[in-house]
Amino acid sequence: MSILYLDIGNSHIKLAEKKGIEWEIIYKASNGSAKNMAEVIQERPDADMVVISSVRKDVLNRILELLRFIDVKVLTNSLVDRVNMDYKTPDTLGMDRFLTCYGAVSVTDNDVICIDAGTACTVDWMTSEGVYRGGVIMPGLKLFYESINKQLPELPAVDHHIPDNWPGKSTEESVQWGTGGSFIMAIQGFIKKYMEHVEGEADIFITGGDSLFIVDNLQSALKIHHRPYLLFDGMEVFGRDLNG
């Protein structure tokens, strides 16, 4: 069976296909381009099914209307055994957060701390047994910069760079520490907090649009894995496990 995987994020939709052991992105656009994405699928007569993970109900409903010509499987948190969710409100958990951790756990014997750096940045923990323990949702890197530019227009616009010296010795350096620096330090603080509760070892997995910025700047003694397509890994493995 030939399966396509669709990630409906906060800002973009991405359609992917597994080619051997690698993922190939065959369509990526803003959420407003769902019609074009459906046309891309229609042009692939070998596709048997589309598996979907979505954080946007409005976009999902629009896409489901457009994909009536093909079998669709939407991965939702209702499909997760509640024993695998240590979460007070499991019905509200974004399935993308669970699937990202699920993909990470599938390739290591340790607990995982997963950082998904998109429009929002999530920092989540799953045990090696596949139990989702909870997490953090914070503004993504872009929002850090946009908040400064919008609310404090007299401060200089800065690039995504953390100064080598501490503290900042100019207004520009001070803003760089307050944007990219605080973003990284917050993530490092969350990892440290998780490790106070992890029994045994843990690996860090980093994914999302700003993942390389984190990889370049994160300081941790834990093993770090950069997996750009970690959500798709989780979608594939979870779907396979559902089918036995």
For 60-90, the DSSP string reads HHHHHHHTTTSEEEE--GGGS-GGGB--S-G
Gyration radius of the chain over CA positions:
19
Tens digit of each residue's pLDDT (9 = 90 or more) over 219-242? 999 999 999 999 999 999 999 998
Which CATH number fits the domain that encloses residue 15? 3.30.420.40
If asked whether residues 232 and 117 sit together in one domain, one would say yes
Give the pLDDT of residue 50: 97
If asked whether residues 25 and 114 sit together in one domain, one would say no
Tens digit of each residue's pLDDT (9 = 90 or more) over 45-75? 899 999 999 999 999 999 999 999 999 999 9
If asked whether residues 172 and 112 sit together in one domain, one would say yes
If asked whether residues 41 and 108 sit together in one domain, one would say no
pLDDT at 24 over 80: yes
Give the pLDDT of residue 83: 96
Q: 35: pLDDT confidence band, cut at 50, 70 and 90?
A: confident
Distance in angstroms (rounded) separating the CA atoms of residues 215 and 114: 12
**Residue 104 sits in which domain range?**
79-242
Which residue in the block uniquely carries the two structure tokens 């090696």? 128
If asked whether residues 112 and 63 sit together in one domain, one would say no
Give the pLDDT of residue 86: 97
Q: Measuring CA to CA, which residue among 120, 1, 47, 210 is closest to residue 37?
A: 47
Residue type, 182: S
pLDDT at 99 over 90: yes
Q: Where are the beta strands (DSSP E) in the chain?
A: 3-8, 12-19, 22-30, 49-54, 71-74, 111-117, 120-126, 132-139, 202-207, 223-226
| Cis ω before 228 (30° cut-off from 0) | no
Greater confidence (244 vs 87) lies with 87
Query: Taking the complete model, does pTM exceed 0.85, yes or no?
Result: yes
Give the pLDDT of residue 32: 67
Q: Measuring CA to CA, which residue among 193, 182, 30, 205 is closest to residue 116?
A: 205
pLDDT at 122 over 90: yes
- Say how many domains are in the chain: 2
The two tokens of residue 176 are: 């760089």
Q: Which residues contact 142 (CB under 8 A, 6 or more apart)?
A: 119, 210
Greater confidence (125 vs 59) lies with 125
pLDDT at 31 over 80: no
If asked whether residues 188 and 107 sit together in one domain, one would say yes
Q: Which residues contact 43 (CB under 8 A, 6 or more apart)?
A: none
Query: How many Cβ atoms sit within 10 Å of the Cβ of residue 157?
Result: 10
